[in-house]
Amino acid sequence: MDAPGASATESAALPGQLAQQLVKHGLLMMGAVYPARVPVRDLSHGTLILLGCGPGFWPKFTASDEARDGRADPVDRWSTRVVTQLADRHGAAPYFPFGGPPYAPFINWATQSGRAHSSPTGMLVHDTVGLMISYRGALHFQAELPLPARTDDSPCATCPTRPCTTACPVGALSETQPYDLAACHAYLDTAAGQDCMQNGCAARRACPISAGANRLPAQSALHMKAFHPK
């Protein structure tokens, strides 16, 4: 599954160009890893860069054909188009957290990047967007590109109150028991559950780091509708 590669010249110039392209499309580099140095599933060398929704994602997406054509899975189709274009432009192979089975091992890739960790509720938490973590794709390059220094520090380690563990109105997400999917879905069907449906999961919103995602209610509502279609 290793990627067809970029040339050494392309790789040397790529990080700045790629950063500009990510901003253009409303995406963020949400993590990266050298598979030859930090073992990850399915890849053995080069550079793996994980892409997620940035502050500019929502206006870019809502102006797209995918958002307006009324067809199913608009965010996934937008992600496929944009990430594939980035891959073609920069000589990388694209991967996506949807479209399987089989599925690309994004949870393994995310945790091995050092920027995503298991939260007390079991959900992944990211060091800058908290529980509003949303991977839209990944790019794999043959070469080892310059990357920021790794941190490997979970934000949960210094969170004094862990509000994500008590914010769920029906206790579906807590530190002491597995995720109660049935209770979550049942609550979302009630009048009270419309707060989560329209504004996003209460537990995800409670994470102090989630504010870094600058997530608009309309974006959260779209994700919740995909999670719990009626």
Whether 3 maps to a domain, the answer reads no
pLDDT of residue 16: 74
- pLDDT tens string 117-158: 999 999 999 999 999 999 999 999 999 998 888 889 999 999
Distance between CA atoms of residues 51 and 95, nearest Å: 10
Whether 2 maps to a domain, the answer reads no
Helices then strands, counting H and E runs in the chain, come out as 9, 6
Here the tokens at position 66 are: 């995918």
The string of DSSP codes covering 195-221 is HHHHH--HHHHHSGGGGGG---HHHHH
CA distances from 128 to 10, 29, 42, 112 (A): 29, 11, 26, 16
pLDDT of residue 17: 81
- The whole domain housing 12 covers 8-227
Domain count, the chain: 1
- pLDDT tens string 178-209: 999 999 999 999 999 999 999 999 999 999 99
Whether 28 maps to a domain, the answer reads yes
Whether 157 maps to a domain, the answer reads yes
CB 112, CB 43: distance < 8 Å: no
Whether 1 maps to a domain, the answer reads no
Whether 219 maps to a domain, the answer reads yes
- pLDDT tens string 22-63: 999 999 999 999 999 999 999 999 999 999 999 899 999 999
AA identity, residue 131: L
